[in-house]
Amino acid sequence: MKFDSLIKGGIVVLPGHGPVRADLGCRAGRIAAIADDLSTASSDDVVDARGLYVFPGAVDSHFHVGIYRPHAEDARSESLSAVSGGVTTLISYFRTGHHYLNKTGPYREIFPEVLELSKGNFHTDYGYHIAPMTTAQLDEIPWLVEQGVASFKYYMFYKALTLSADSTKGKDYTMADEYDLGHLYEIMVRVAEASRRTGRRISLSLHCENPEIIRVFIQRVKAAGLTGLQAYSEGRPPLSERLSIQEAGVLADETSCPVNFLHLSSRKAIEAGVDVRTRHPEMDITIETTLHHLALTWATAGDLRSKVNPPIRTQDDQDALWRALMKGQIDTVVSDHACCMEENKKGDTWSALPGFGGTSLLYPVLLSEGVHKRGLPLERVVDLLSTTPARRFGLFPRKGAIAIGSDADFALIDLEKEQAVTVENSHSAQDHTPFAGKSLKGWPVATVLRGRLAFKDGTAVGDRRGAFVARPV
């Protein structure tokens, strides 16, 4: 039996099972054989995995390509950062309005443009979540599902922009008309309907922060004269997440809409997410957190370059996230990667742009802080970074699995490699990183996309082969 390539001599971390000594034979981009010993003569392309753990490629299901920089350029540089860290599929959020392509209009015109800007520019496979911002875009949801969009987004805190005294400025930002809980209800009805019609999980992702609470807490923090990351966290307090999750939970229950609570950052947020799930066991809920909320606190994250929404929190919040993760209450860990240059972080506490990159650190953070420090089993890392995001976002079993017929996407990892994070080893265009100097143990040393090396020894291998994946697969 001949293979296009062979991953030889590694310890394969099988999803749902754990580490097993095995070789992997790949053909036509897919896994064709899993065996304890495949002959090196069976392929002309043998990847030596001796001493390494072979994980499925990570599915980074929360990414922002092109939010602050030109789309194609950002796709090239930031998907390189992703593939350097063992990510083989990323799903990026896109919306009309300010930032991104800085315009509004029908997705029937704008989505093909996004796909055109993406073509040939990704080192990883990729997909898009789409945010219906205007009333007119609501009716495009069924069409978007036909185009391979299996997940949508609503931002709970943008409501303030249409409610603020200076409503023209708000509407300039979202380029939306009625962006409120009514609009959210209308999205949920349509997403739930698409889910029923297709018999597949079509879901709505929610950025859960409440704008009215943020408004008065920012006033309080400003009056107290506070600035910096602590002030930013207190100005957008965990209460705002808690309230917003409960509001979204009520509407999701009413509409039977599958939902994803994004980037829960605090003890109160996790408790609220778990509460909604416990009270409504029939609801379809994904609870997501980020690697930066697991790895940083406002006391350790430095200056405003680490500003992000929701904010970096306290040690107590971080401890609560880890407890929830170890108990299995958190389903996915993502980067929420948004390349944001240092010059965009120059304003004050309130005007500096939010967001930063971190996709290359998904495996290192979970292996170092989870496996080595807390005894998290390797197969749980696979669940959190690959299998569960693939299942929840319509990619499974093509992605997120190490099984015959699945895409041959792998992260080859040296569990004992220890090094500090630097701008250089992040392989991103971003000229700073909030994780700089943080020492982590457990690093990807090579990444395989559909059977062929895509990254090795600190550099990309071959052409950019990333392709759009229409979901559900």
Rule CB under 5 A: which of 144-203 touch Zn ion? none
Q: How many CA atoms lie within 13 A of 219 on its CB side?
A: 5
Shortest distance (Å) from residue 89 CB to Zn ion: 17
Shortest distance (Å) from residue 63 CB to Zn ion: 8
Q: State the Cα–Cα distance between residues 315 and 308, nearest whole angstrom.
A: 17
Shortest distance (Å) from residue 227 CB to Zn ion: 24
**Helix axis angle, 71-84 to 107-118, nearest 10°:** 50
How is residue 347 annotated by DSSP? S
User: How crowded is residue 416: how many other Cβ atoms within 10 Å of its Cβ?
Assistant: 10
Q: Going residue by residue from 314 to 343, which x/- string records binding to Zn ion, judged by CB under 5 A?
A: ----------------------x-------
Rounded to 5 degrees, what are φ and ψ at 457? 50, 45
In which element (H, E) is residue 144 found? helix 141-146
Q: 117 or 334, CB closer to Zn ion?
A: 334
Q: Is 241 among the residues that bind Zn ion (CB under 5 A)?
A: no
Q: 336 or 407, CB closer to Zn ion?
A: 336
**Helix axis angle, 211-223 to 238-255, nearest 10°:** 180
**Helix axis angle, 211-223 to 228-235, nearest 10°:** 140
Shortest distance (Å) from residue 290 CB to Zn ion: 8
Q: State the Cα–Cα distance between residues 146 and 35, nearest whole angstrom.
A: 38
Give the C-alpha distances (Å, rounded to integers) separating 193 from 85, 127, 444. 37, 21, 40
Q: State the Cα–Cα distance between residues 362 and 359, nearest whole angstrom.
A: 6
Q: Which is it for strands 53-56 and 452-456: parallel, antiparallel or unpaired?
A: unpaired
| DSSP SS3 for 113 | helix
Tell me if 149 sits within 8 A of 471, measured CB to CB: yes
How is residue 305 annotated by DSSP? G
Instruction: Determine the residue with CB nearest Zn ion.
Output: 336
Tell me if 195 sits within 8 A of 258, measured CB to CB: yes
Shortest distance (Å) from residue 49 CB to Zn ion: 33
Q: 56 or 355, CB closer to Zn ion?
A: 355
User: How crowded is residue 253: how many other Cβ atoms within 10 Å of its Cβ?
Assistant: 17
Q: In which residue are the tokens 């996230």 written?
A: 321
Structure token digits, residue 213:
């609470």
Q: State the Cα–Cα distance between residues 259 and 245, nearest whole angstrom.
A: 11
How is residue 38 annotated by DSSP? -
Shortest distance (Å) from residue 81 CB to Zn ion: 16
Shortest distance (Å) from residue 313 CB to Zn ion: 16
Q: Which is it for strands 46-48 and 5-8: parallel, antiparallel or unpaired?
A: parallel
Shortest distance (Å) from residue 97 CB to Zn ion: 14
Shortest distance (Å) from residue 88 CB to Zn ion: 20
Q: 64 or 183, CB closer to Zn ion?
A: 64
Structure token digits, residue 35:
């065996």
Q: 117 or 308, CB closer to Zn ion?
A: 308
Shortest distance (Å) from residue 350 CB to Zn ion: 19
**Binding positions for Zn ion, rule: CB under 5 A:** 336
